[in-house]
Each structure stands twice: as C-alpha cells, then as structure tokens.
Amino acid sequence: MQQEGLKTIAVNRKARHEYFVLESFETGIVLVGTEVKSIRQGGVNLKDSWCSIDGGELWIKGMHISPYEKGNIFNADPLRVRKLLMHHKEIDRLLGTLKQDGLTLIPLSLYFKGSRVKVQLGLCKGKKLHDKRDAAAARDAKREIDRALKTRNQ
C-alpha cells in the first residue's frame, strides 16, 4: 500500500486472519486536538476495533489512540467513539449489504494520505475454524516451496 503520498500508520493483521475481506473502502476520520500528534508517534491500535452505522452515520468503536504525552487536560479519551466520513449514498449501500448478508465492517489499516488521516475499511465475512486451518496450511506450504526453491537456486 506504500504508494506516492501514502504512509501506513497501523495495520489490523488480526482482521485478515479472522475474516474474509470481500470489499474495501477508504474513509476519512474525525479527530480532535492532540490525537493526530499521537497517531504520528504511532500510538494507535486497531486490534479490537469495529465499525457500526448509527443514525445514518458511520462510527468506529474500540480503536485505541494513546493520549499525547506532551498534551494537556484537553487530551481525548483513548477509546472514544470516532466518526468516519463517507458519502451518504455509500453508507446507505453498506447498511443494506450489512443487514442483508450478515457481514461486518472492520478497519483494516490507518494511514496518512498527504496530511490527512484515512481509514481503510473492509466489508468482511467471518472465517470458520476450518477456513483458518486451510489458510495456515496454504501459508506453510508456500513457505516450504519458497525455502526449497531458494536452496535449489544457490
């Protein structure tokens, strides 16, 4: 994802392990005060975060942004619910898809696009235990093949 002007801040690696990502979206995020400075220092965790649509607006919950250490009394709550910015037509389409198919919205990564903080959301379907085992077996097989090719080419 390292394109021109993009700088990855945090990646939710657990999301790709727990879910099948069917589609991804780029959204903006509403931040207050010293949260951006804390994000620039890498004080963000997406591990247990998720998104919901309440009142026609998109919200991210469970995302932890550490308080800025040089901040003051105006530091925001680290686990506060933050609003995501997306067009209403896209939110309405997502809402229909989420209700109909039983899918969920999971933040996949957080990155800077220019000077703005963006969130990559994934429209996800949960993996069953056997799906996780299959993915692990495929990953191990690929690793063994790469190792064998490397030793053969030396």
- In whole angstroms, give the CA distance from residue 28 to residue 121: 10
Indicate the SS3 state at residue 144: helix
Categorize the per-residue pLDDT at 4 as very low, low, confident or very high, splitting at 50, 70 and 90.
Answer: low
56-100 pLDDT per residue, tens: 899 999 988 888 887 777 777 778 899 999 999 999 888 888 887
CA distances from 73 to 68, 69, 113 (A): 10, 11, 29
pLDDT tens-digit map of 126-150: 878 877 788 888 888 889 888 888 8
Structure tokens at 69: 């250490």
User: How does pLDDT run across 10-64, given as a tens digit for each residue?
Assistant: 888 888 888 888 889 999 999 887 888 888 888 888 888 989 888 889 999 998 8
96: alpha, beta or left? (left if phi > 0; alpha if psi -120 to 50): alpha
Q: Would you tell me how many other CB atoms lie within 10 Å of the CB of residue 142?
A: 10
Q: How does the average pLDDT of the chain come out, rounded? A: 85
Q: Nearest to residue 29, comparing CAs of 103, 125, 124, 107?
A: 107
Q: What is the pTM of this model?
A: 0.76
- Bridge partners (DSSP) of residue 119 are 27, 110
